Structure 1
Amino acid sequence: MIVLAGKRLLAMLLIMLVVSFILFSLFESDKMAVAGKVLGAYSSLEQRELWLTQNGYDAPFLERYLQWVGGALHGDFGNSLQYKVPVSELLADRLKNTGILTLVFFLIMIPLSLTLGVLAGMKEGSWLDRVISVVAVLTTSIPEFVTATFLTGVFVYSWHLLPGTSSMTGGFSWKELILPVMVLVIYDFGYVTRMTRASMAEVMTSQYIRTAVLKGLPYKRVIMRHALRNALIAPFTVIVLQLNWLLSGLVVVEVFFAYKGFGYLLVDAALFGDIYVIEACVLVAVFVAVFSQFISDIGYTLLNPRIRFS
């Protein structure tokens, strides 16, 4: 187990290193373009050359890359060209807001999807299974921006119950979280529900479940002690990997509701051309992707004895 974790961790570090090199090459190989972004399109050639000299861009490419990596490891990504503040401070504030949204989303989505998936898988082919499956497929098929538009029309313009934007600039507000969380849950719970349902249905047809039922064990005990333990292995992996999906799903939701989070910051930086913010956001996104894969691999190994003891 320790060897496996070490290999996965080493792979994660190598991926981050490769991505950081590619990222730095794309954004900072053209030094004049960097100076133009910082000083503006109307800056003179002399002004750009002076800025490059003052900020260490005369050093060789590899040396600048190593300095940049060292700064990133210490949380120093430079200053935002748009907001004129350190990128690390800006990123920390936006990640906090996104973390709140993600936490509330998971607290609702996980119990809901697992419960519905287990209920559908316990009685495969029943009317309950059909209803849950249809709802799951229907909600997953509708894009986030369509759901967001519909919910805004109902709860904001028709019923006047919720705010149309969720900027979170005035502090924590439950009302501002409701619509973004609803959009994310409606779109994503169906996928996890169907995966849980398929895993539960497969377990219910296995030999050891039939043997337990034929031995006269209480049905509730068969489900809770034997079926669920194995049926939830696959959904666990799917749930952890939802962090990767959230990186794209949150962009749509945060921009739609003007939610000041990580996704909104990334889009805003891309439109403005704030290269230092873009570099930091990409590194964070890649780290979340590879770290969630690492957690998924380790968790799946712990939950599945056949892999753990092989």
Structure 2
Amino acid sequence: MALYVINRLLAVMVVLLVISMLVFGVTQIMPGDVASTIAGQFASPEVVDAIREKLGLNDPFYVQYWRWISSVVTGDFGQSLIMERPVSALISEAFMASASLAIVSFISVTLFGILLGVWAAVRRDKLADNLVSTFTYVGISIPEFFWGIVLIMFFANYLQILPSGGVASISASPGVWLSHIILPVITLTLTLIAHVSRLTRSSMLEALDSQYVRNARAKGLPERTVIFRHALPNALMPTITVLALDVGWLIGGIVVVEVVFSYPGIGRLLMFAIERHDLPLIQASILVIALIYCLANLVADLLYAVVNPKIRYGNGE
């Protein structure tokens, strides 16, 4: 297992290196010019050229990449060209806000997605199963921004019981923090809960129809034991894979949701940087998002061994 973890961590480093090259290359060919943005609309070409020279934007591509990546590996992401603050500080502030939103959302997706899937599978072809199936079709079909707009109109504008945007500190006031995070979490999780519950239902039905479950029932074991001790652990294998992939979907959804709800997280920060062509901020934000996605997939692989002890990594079994 230790060897497997080391190999996967090395693979993550290689993936991040490739992503860094792609991100740096794409940001160099993006439309717009950060020097013109900094100088202003009415700046002369001489002023723009002076800013480009000062920022090193006239250097060859490989020189700029090496200068950037050699700083990144030491934890220095440089300065924001627009806000003139260290990028690491901006990323840290935004990441903490997004982390609370993402953690609450992921826990909700895991808990409610699995519970709904198991509930539908156990009550196959009954009312509960039909209700869950209808929910999954509706949830998967409608994008996050639509749910966000509907929730804002109903709960914030019509009922006026929840704020339409912003964020609050959980340490200062847990109640106010919760009121600000409810609508973004619901918006983020509706589609993913539908996705996870649908897959869990399919896997659970396959497990319930398997021979080992029939043998467990033939032994006279209680139905609760059959479901949660024999069927569910095996049914969770594909669900864990999908949950790891849904981390990427969750991150993409956070960008949309943070813009809709004016939530000051890493997704909104990335959109701010793209709109203003702030290259160091764009590059650092995407690298952090890629790192989170890679680590989520590593955790999913390790959870396989927890859910199914028969799996052993690194020994060919």
Fold-level similarity (TM above 0.5): yes
Equivalent residue pairs, number: 308
Match of 1:165 in 2: 165
Paired residue for 2:241?
Answer: 237
Q: Residue 229 of structure 2 corresponds to which residue in structure 1?
A: 225
- Alignment partner of 1:275 is 2:276: no
- Quote the offset at 1:40 in angstroms: 4.5
Identity %: 34
Structure 2 residue identity aligned to 1:7: N
Compare 87-96 and 3-12 and name the one that shifted more. 3-12
Matches of 2:48 and 2:259 in 1, distance apart? 36
- Secondary structure of the residue aligned to 1:273 is coil
Which region of structure 1 is more displaced relative to structure 2, 18-27 or 203-212? 18-27
The residue aligned with 2:256 is 252
Mapped partners of 1:50, 1:237: distance in 2: 47
Alignment correspondent of 2:85: 85
1:114 paired residue number = 114
Q: How far has the Cα of 1:231 moved from its partner?
A: 1.4
In the other structure, the counterpart of 2:132 is: 132
Contact 2:213 2:230 in 1 (8 A): yes
User: What does 1:22-101 align with in structure 2 at a 5 Å threshold?
Assistant: 22-28=22-28, 33=33, 35-40=35-40, 42-45=43-46, 48-49=49-50, 52=53, 54=54, 61-101=61-101
- Give per-residue Cα distances to partners, 1:52-71, cap 9 Å, x unaligned: 2x555676643442331121
State the SS of the aligned residue for 1:78: coil
Match of 1:300 in 2: 304
Cα distance between partner residues in 1 of 2:126 and 2:275: 50
The answer as to whether partners of 2:94 and 2:269 remain within 8 angstroms in 1 is yes
Q: Is the 8 A contact 1:169 1:260 kept in 2?
A: no
2:205 maps to 1:204 = no
Report the CA distance shift for 1:40/1:16 in structure 2 as closer, same or farther (over 3 A).
Answer: farther
Q: Return 5+ residue gaps in structure 2 as ranges.
A: none
Name the Cα RMSD after superposition.
2.6
Shift of 1:197: 0.7
Give the residue type in structure 1 aligned to 2:195.
Y
Q: List alignment gaps of at least 5 residues for structure 1.
A: none
2-side partners of 1:155 and 1:273: how far apart?
35
The answer (yes or no) to whether the contact 1:37–1:274 under 8 Å persists in 2 is: no
Match of 2:105 in 1: 105
2:197 equivalent to 1:193: yes
What amino acid is aligned across from residue 261 of structure 1 in structure 2?
G
2:216 equivalent to 1:216? no
Shift of 1:301: 4.8
- Distance, in Å, in 1 between the alignment partners of 2:295 and 2:4 is 14
In 1, Cα distance between the equivalents of 2:137 and 2:157?
28
The answer on whether the counterparts of 2:52 and 2:58 sit within 8 Å (CA) in structure 1 is: no
Distance change >3 Å, CA 33–CA 199, structure 1 → 2: same
| Equivalent-residue separation in structure 2 for 1:225 and 1:6 (angstroms) | 32
The residue number in structure 2 matching 1:153 is 153
Deviations, residues 88-107 of structure 1 (Å, cap 9, x unaligned)? 11111011000011112123
* TM-score, normalised relative to structure 2: 0.87
Aligned to 1:144: 144
**Matched residues in 1 for 2:287 and 2:6: separation?**
22
Residues 224 and 258 (structure 1 numbering): CA distance in 2 closer, same or farther, change over 3 Å?
A: same
Residue 153 of structure 1 aligns to which amino acid in structure 2?
Answer: M
Residues 130-180 of structure 1, C-alpha deviations (whole Å, 9 max, x = no match): 211111221221111211121112111211101112244896622111111
**In the alignment, is the contact (CA less than 8 A) between 1:105 and 1:184 conserved in 2?**
yes
SS at match of 1:258: coil
1:205, CA displacement in angstroms? 0.3
CA distance in 1, matches of 2:279, 2:264: 19
SS of the residue 2:105 aligns to: helix
The letter for the 2-side match of 1:280 is A
Q: TM-score with structure 1 length normalisation? A: 0.89
Structure 1's 29 and 139: CA in aligned 2 closer, same or farther, altered over 3 A? closer
